[in-house]
């Protein structure tokens, strides 16, 4: 599962209980509505991650077009950068223990969190689906066919790339008007997060259950399990 792979990326580092307690007040808002993830092969009780120090790539997409687009399109300017974020779930039941140790994730107070309309961003774009593109993997393939052998490596190259009307464009993007820029105008419009049901919230604010979420804010992580989650959250509140 793509989402589980994102949720188990190993970029966190172990910290002491003392260090955790010292940082916790600046992450306390998230205790109202925590998010969750797993860490592969980790038994650490306390951990910390600063995701914007890393650059993540999709583990399943040969060409990472959609991350470049979501990081740079004007309609996504207020969202956390996908390439600089840690990906989580809005409830613990989304996170299987067979993918690693499960953690309560507490983004720093004030951190922005992007919220998908369902459990996986790959299946979250209604505006692509109605154009017969079922998921972001298919979207990457369509863009690859459109750009053929002249594959852009950066967003700037995408915007400058000349788009010649082909069967690939007409089959999937029949409403594209070649008087507009294919990337900066047309894709910006059909990938608009508002039109596709995405939300942006601050750490601690409520969100729907069963949604993929992401943040580039610093995060504290506390090891938990389904049967101990409620008690663990109470322990964390009592640390304040």
Please give the share of the chain, as a percent, with pLDDT higher than 70: 90
Hey, what are 97's tokens?
A: 């223990």
Tell me the average pLDDT across 47-61.
Answer: 72
Per-residue pLDDT for 3 more than 50?
Answer: no
The whole-number pLDDT of residue 55 equals: 63
| Predicted confidence band of residue 53 (pLDDT cuts 50, 70, 90) | confident
Please give the share of the chain, as a percent, with pLDDT higher than 90: 71
Rounded Cα gap, residues 240 and 215, in angstroms: 23
Tell me the average pLDDT across 202-218.
Answer: 96
Tell me the average pLDDT across 61-83.
Answer: 91
Per-residue pLDDT for 39 more than 70?
Answer: yes
Tens of pLDDT, residues 113-169: 999 999 999 999 999 999 999 999 999 999 988 888 788 989 999 999 877 777 778
Average pLDDT over the chain, rounded to an integer:
89
Which of residues 162 and 201 earns the better pLDDT score?
201
């Amino acid at each position: 599962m793509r989402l589980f792979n994102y949720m188990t990326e190993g970029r966190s580092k172990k910290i002491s209980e003392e260090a955790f307690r010292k940082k916790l007040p600046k992450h306390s808002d998230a205790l109202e509505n925590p998010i969750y993830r797993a860490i592969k092969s980790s038994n650490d009780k306390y951990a910390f991650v600063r995701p914007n120090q890393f650059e993540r790539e999709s583990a399943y997409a040969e060409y990472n077009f959609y991350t470049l687009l979501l990081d740079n399109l004007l309609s996504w300017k207020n969202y956390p950068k996908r390439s600089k974020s840690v990906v989580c779930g809005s409830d613990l039941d989304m996170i299987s223990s067979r993918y690693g140790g499960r953690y309560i994730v507490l983004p720093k107070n004030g951190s922005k969190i992007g919220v998908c309309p369902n459990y996986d961003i790959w299946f979250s774009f209604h505006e692509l689906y109605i154009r017969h593109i079922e998921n972001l993997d298919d979207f990457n393939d369509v863009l690859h066919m459109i750009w053929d052998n002249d594959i852009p490596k950066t967003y700037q190259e995408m915007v400058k790339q000349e788009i010649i009307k082909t069967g690939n464009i007409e089959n999937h993007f029949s409403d594209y008007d070649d008087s507009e820029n294919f990337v900066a105008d047309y894709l910006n419009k059909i990938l608009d997060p508002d039109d596709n049901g995405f939300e942006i919230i601050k750490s601690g604010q409520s969100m729907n259950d069963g949604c993929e979420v992401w943040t580039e804010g610093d995060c504290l992580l506390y090891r938990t399990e389904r049967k101990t989650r409620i008690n663990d959250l109470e322990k964390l509140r009592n640390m304040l």
